[in-house]
A and B are shown apart, each in its own frame.
Chain A
Amino acid sequence: MLEVPAQVWQKVKTNYIWRSLFRHGYPDSRKNQSLAVFTNVFLHLHPVKVRRHALAIPYTWCMGGLSFFLFLVLTLTGTLLMFYYHPVSAAVPGADDAYQDIKDLETVVIFGQFLRNMHRWAAHGMVITVFLHMIRVFYTGSYKPPREFNWVVGTLLFVVTLVLSYTGYLLPWDQLAIWAVTVGMNMVGATPFVGDEVRFLFLGGFEVGGNALLRFYVLHCVALPVIAGFLMAIHFWRIRKDGGISGPL
């Protein structure tokens, strides 16, 4: 009985197309396990072997990995949301605008509410996981040589994560959104010497209006994710170059 699937599997694996995709056998030997990791563009972020210590969940809580996971979830759900969202504030109350798009997401679009919820909660979640990751890195002394610079990159990632979340906060264009952003922008406006200029730069005006919405939208959907992506690339690369996850000497 089992010969048939076994033969089919054998055929598939020796097939020309399959072999153009995978250049190693099933990862059940050390050699194939190594090949599986470093011939795969997604897996090659990993080394082939790690110290056993690094696998312990109480050591990392997986928080760095989960921050990255949430970032991917946010990229996916965010891209889907972009199909339905116009960064427009209506001149006439009641006309179509960003707020109406959110309402439509909740009532008209299939799974729209679910999509929005996923994006929202993942965003809060990411702020929390990044914070917890920072806590674990600090208390395990993982910023010590040779990882000084990766800690600096991490600090920048923390700031970018907060700003990403904050710029997204404005987009639903409801009362919560504009007033939270108004409060934040007033703080920015208190910057010594250049406060008003910086505030104007963010808002494209003197108060939170259509221009601010557009600026926050571009920052949120393009500029900041790209910056975060670059920083993460550096962050992950440096983990490898600094000898993998820290551990007792």
Chain B
Amino acid sequence: MTVPRGPQPFPGQEKRLRLLAFVRQDSIVRVDKRVEDTAMVWPHLLVIEFIAAMVWALGLFVVAALFNAPLMDRANVDRTPNPSKAPWYFLNLQELLLHMNAALAGVIVPTAWIVFMMTIPYIDRSREGVGVWFTSQKGKTVAVFSAVYSTVLTVGLVAADFFLKKAGYAEWATAHLPGGKLIIPDVVIPVLVMLILPVVLVVLLKRLYQANTREWMIGVWTGFLATYVVLTFIGTSMRGPGMDLFAPWALPPTHD
């Protein structure tokens, strides 16, 4: 056995290896890895972060100096404000509540949405278009189409509900439908609407644009986004006393 030159290891420690780093294979063999594509974090990224933080801190100071946080009368369980509203980011759900069963609007729909959100990356698994806004020109078209589709339908549904209620639909349903108002108008119809409309959207996108998974996912997500924004807007600035519908510029103030 030849003894290697240089300082000798202690007996028993001759073959100790130390793991200094894991290097993923593709980072060694990737041919298109360009070194010049990178920038040092100090200073390039840190400067941006610093400026962003300062601008926002200043902006926040200005807003906090100009506008006071609201504070109403002391809490009183015997005086119910009309209307009582949740914080604005939940008003979309409160708006849903006006159109369907409470468990559906307040619990099942948001839970289903969160579960759907988490499954998105496991459904749309291609890496196509990553890092590019809307993936492609077609992605943009799909997004615009879905935004219009969902906005029109959501506004239409809220309006239809408004006119039907005015025409005495609730009373008619209670008197004539099996289970009264509680089953078909409050559960069956909303569930069908919420399931069928997105499916129709996907089918349309596939027919009109030959959408692949990423593209129809953009469509469905944009549809959610548009619906969320529209419902939040209606809930925030178009619902007055009794949660009745008003024009945003003619919204009566809240009273007891």
Chain A residues at the B interface, C-beta cutoff of 8 Å: 27, 30, 33-34, 36-37, 43, 46-55, 57, 59, 62, 65-66, 69-70, 73, 89, 93, 97, 99, 102-103, 106, 113-114, 116-122, 125, 127, 135, 138-145, 147-148, 151-152, 155, 159, 162, 165-166, 169, 172-180, 182-184, 186-188, 190-192, 195, 207-209, 246-249
Contacts and interface: CB of A to CB of B under 8 A. Distances in A.
Interface of B: 37-46, 48-49, 52-53, 56-57, 60-61, 63-65, 67-77, 79-81, 84-87, 89-90, 93-94, 97, 101-103, 105-108, 114, 117-118, 120-122, 124-135, 143, 214, 218, 221, 225
B84 to A, nearest CB: 4
Contacts of B77: 178, 207-209
A37 B90 CA distance: 40
A160 to B, nearest CB: 12
B86 A184 contact: yes
Contacts, number: 224
Given A114-B64, A117-B69, A145-B121, A55 B45 contact: yes
B130 A144 contact: yes
Contacts of B90: 162, 166, 184, 187
A195 B104 CA distance: 12
A60 to B, nearest CB: 10
Contacts of B127: 144-145, 249
Given A140-B131, A195-B103, A33 B121 contact: no
A69 B57 CA distance: 9
Contacts of A145: 121, 125, 127
Most B CB atoms within 10 A — which of A47, A70, A144, A191? A144
Nearest to B124: A144
Given A155-B117, A175-B73, A195-B103, 5 more contacts: A51-B37, A52-B38, A93-B74, A143-B124, A187-B102
A50 B42 CA distance: 10
Nearest to A103: B71
B52 A69 contact: yes
Contact of B135 (A141, A174, A208): A141
A180 B75 contact: no
Given A55-B44, A141-B214, A145-B127, A116 B81 contact: no
A49 B40 contact: yes
Nearest to A168: B87
B81 A179 contact: yes
Contacts of B87: 165-166, 169, 180, 184
A56 to B, nearest CB: 10
Contacts of A186: 102, 106
Contacts of A162: 89-90
Nearest to A147: B121
A121 B69 contact: yes
Chain B CB within 10 A, most for which of A48, A138, A177, A192: A138
A55 B40 CA distance: 10
Contacts of B63: 117, 121
